[in-house]
Structure 1
Amino acid sequence: MARHVSIITDSTACLPQDALRRYGITSVPLTVVVDGQPLEEGTEISARSLAEALRRHRPVTTSRPSPETFAAAYRAAADAGADGIVSLHLSAEFSGTYDAAVLAAAQAPVPVRVVDSGMIAMALGYCVLAAASAAAAGGGPDDAVAAAEKRAGGTSAFFYVDTLDHLRRGGRIGAAQALLGSALAVKPLLELADGRIGPLEKVRTASRAIARLEELAVTRAGEGPVDIAVHHLAAGQRAEQLADRLSARVPGLADLHVGEIGAVIGAHTGPGLLATVVSPH
């Protein structure tokens, strides 16, 4: 009898609905709280609405899913026939989502492997897709986890933000504190490393920063097969232009995903975000 491994992730993976449906992946939503009103990411609040709330300086916070929410997702997967579950989530450095999943896994009706991917956005999404592909090919939980970890090991994410204020207020910048003293004079480029967002370079203008973002992505992509995601928040034209340039310059480009970042991550980066995720096969 073939094994059935269910893949579960969270909404910060920014996976398109068709990808979720194709592999039967369950995405557990995080919550954005605007003016004290909790809203589920992806269904009750869009990135565009979030950007408008931030522009109006409305109070915005985020919160993890409860262990009960994960428990319900694990029960549903088991009821649908799963005899094992791999639950892959955003970096534990950013959120208590991983911890909530671990608590729920202890009471799940089938074995659950909970993985701290160390990633966010499509950096997490590509890991989830790698795990789902391994499971669809008949692999067990160990195979799915190994595929996700291999993908994570080669994946890079770079970020341009108009200001560090949102990251500073949310306590999400870690070592990027070093940039705050000169934040008004530079346009910071940040990198995801060891599960944290940290400073990479300081560039004097937005145009130079975006050009540098492009160069970093092209260099990391190399010549082999690679997937690239371009994320933005309220910067659609910039994102499309960057994606067009990357499409022309990366010879091994397999998949190019362009889309707004999720509301939860957007709450901590602010409008104007432009990011690239480079994930070699």
Structure 2
Amino acid sequence: MAVVVVTDSSASLPADLVDELAIAVVPLHVLVGDQAIREGIDAVDIDYGSDAVSTSGASPGELRAVYEQALTRSDGDGVVAVHLSRQLSGTWEAGRQAVREMAAEDRVHLVDSLGAGLATGLPVLAAARRAKTGAPLAEVYATAVSASREARTFILVNRTEQLRRGGRLSAAASFFGSELVTKPLLQIVEGRLELREKVRTRSKAYAKLVAAAVESAHGAGATVAVQHLGAEDAANTVAGQLREKLPDLRELIVTEFGPTLAVHLGVGAVGVVVIPA
């Protein structure tokens, strides 16, 4: 058949692309009290500002079940599993445990995307499109690794309290001063979420976000994704500015952050992922 690409639900991929490229998605979990909600499967209202809401990754058993199904579906061609950064979640490590239990290291290749959201999703798309051409396992894996290393991620948030509470911000980003008068612009560096700079006003913060993305694109042919939580107008404005400043984009995706990322980023967050040509 062909190599099958697997990811987790934090990749935030649009459903039509998941279906078109036959990508297998493992749900992560939002924990509300004693209730575990499977992202992308269970429908429920979530208060993203509540201290009672947290998240958890996929278990080795959950990952193993999907890997085995994907391996069967590949007809022996193999599986490439691309997951969110191991610095931000235990999902990649759980995947490694699952592969060891399967004794399938030669048939199931794991990739740490070094990111989250569409910083995971864009490498997944690149790998799945490569797999669709009939490329062998090694080439599909190399495509995912290359895209993961090249991706640049920038995120504008209203507050960092939820990120700090969840341990997702590096120690270097622990001091922000008053967040009432500054807007934190974050970036992901080698899989870790760090402070890029503090900006005084929201309009300047959006300008900085767009400028960082344009600089990272290195000219024509870049792939770009814009994500948001409850900030559709702002995301569309950012996307429009990127189209204007980067008229030769290869692809531009605009979508919402999934619940497992939204819990940590908070309402109003807007992020941009760029993979240069």
Q: Same fold (TM over 0.5)?
A: yes
Alignment of 1:159-238 (within 5 A): 159-238=155-234
Deviation at 1:180, TM superposition (A): 3.2
Contact 1:74 1:108 in 2 (8 A): no
Moved more, 264-273 or 73-82: 73-82
Deviation at 1:181, TM superposition (A): 3.4
Partner of 2:180, secondary structure, is coil
Partner of 1:107, secondary structure, is helix
Q: Which amino acid aligns with 1:59?
A: A
Q: Which amino acid aligns with 2:2?
A: H
Does residue 99 (structure 1) correspond to residue 97 (structure 2)? The answer is no
- Map Cα deviations across residues 114-145 of structure 1 (whole Å, 9 max, x no partner): 11121111111111111112222222221111
Q: Which amino acid aligns with 2:163?
A: L
What residue in structure 2 maps to residue 28 of structure 1? 26
- Select 2:137's aligned residue among 138, 141, 144: 141
- Aligned equivalents of 1:82, 1:96: Cα separation in 2: 29
Deviation at 1:270, TM superposition (A): 0.8
Q: Which amino acid aligns with 2:67?
A: Y
What residue in structure 2 maps to residue 280 of structure 1? 276
Does residue 242 (structure 1) correspond to residue 235 (structure 2)? The answer is no
- Aligned equivalents of 2:251, 2:240: Cα separation in 1: 13
- Aligned equivalents of 1:194, 1:86: Cα separation in 2: 20
- Map Cα deviations across residues 12-65 of structure 1 (whole Å, 9 max, x no partner): 11111111111111010100011221101112247xx43xx024x351110111
- Select 2:59's aligned residue among 66, 73, 84: 66
Moved more, 178-187 or 168-177: 178-187
Moved more, 70-79 or 268-277: 70-79
What residue in structure 2 maps to residue 152 of structure 1? 148
Contact 2:48 2:262 in 1 (8 A): no
Deviation at 1:261, TM superposition (A): 0.4
Q: Which amino acid aligns with 2:262?
A: G
Does residue 130 (structure 1) correspond to residue 126 (structure 2)? The answer is yes
Contact 1:234 1:271 in 2 (8 A): yes
Deviation at 1:109, TM superposition (A): 7.2
* Cα distance, 1:82–1:97 mapped onto 2, change above 3 Å: farther
- Map Cα deviations across residues 171-212 of structure 1 (whole Å, 9 max, x no partner): 101145343333333111111101001011111111111111
Contact 1:232 1:239 in 2 (8 A): yes
- Aligned equivalents of 2:256, 2:172: Cα separation in 1: 23
Contact 1:6 1:82 in 2 (8 A): no
- Aligned equivalents of 1:267, 1:75: Cα separation in 2: 30
Contact 1:176 1:197 in 2 (8 A): no
| Larger relative helix fraction | 1
Query: Where does structure 1 lack aligned partners over 5 or more consecutive residues?
Result: none
- Aligned equivalents of 1:268, 1:176: Cα separation in 2: 18
- Aligned equivalents of 2:176, 2:34: Cα separation in 1: 28
- Aligned equivalents of 2:175, 2:142: Cα separation in 1: 36
Partner of 2:175, secondary structure, is helix
Size of the alignment, in residue pairs?
A: 274
Contact 2:8 2:27 in 1 (8 A): yes
Partner of 1:179, secondary structure, is coil
* Cα distance, 1:269–1:45 mapped onto 2, change above 3 Å: farther
Q: Which amino acid aligns with 1:62?
A: T
Q: RMSD in angstroms over aligned alpha carbons?
A: 1.7
TM superposition score normalised by structure 2: 0.93
What residue in structure 2 maps to residue 87 of structure 1? 81
Q: Which amino acid aligns with 2:111?
A: V
Query: Where does structure 2 lack aligned partners over 5 or more consecutive residues?
Result: none
